[in-house]
């Protein structure tokens, strides 16, 4: 993991706008389960990379892919329910 990174100064505002929890350092909180790392405290809102804290580029890319797949799965689920 990368070190020495402060959270985005707008995270408190983003947390309020999207109604998601922040973790203790001020980054966007995410699921604690390895299979749900892209999830946040609000269903349908996903997060990846440095928004969650210091991350390497490789980890950020992988998390971005996981967030995109989670968003696609949510959209497909909602379309199927309509």
Per-residue pLDDT tens digits for 40-61: 999 999 999 999 988 899 999 9
Q: Is 44 in contact with 19 (CB distance < 8 Å)?
A: no
Only one residue has tokens 């929890």, namely: 21
Mean pLDDT across the chain, nearest whole number? 88
- pLDDT, position 82: 61
Contacts of 9 (CB under 8 A, 6+ apart): none
The pLDDT-based confidence of 1 (bands split at 50, 70, 90) is low
């Amino acid at each position: 993991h990368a070190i020495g990174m402060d959270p985005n100064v707008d995270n408190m505002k983003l947390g309020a706008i999207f109604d998601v929890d922040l973790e203790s350092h001020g980054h966007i909180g995410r699921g604690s389960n390895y299979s749900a790392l892209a999830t946040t405290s609000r269903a349908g809102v996903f997060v990846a990379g440095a928004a969650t804290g210091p991350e390497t580029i490789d980890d950020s890319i992988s998390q971005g892919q996981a967030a995109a797949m989670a968003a696609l799965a949510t959209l497909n689920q909602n379309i199927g329910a309509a």
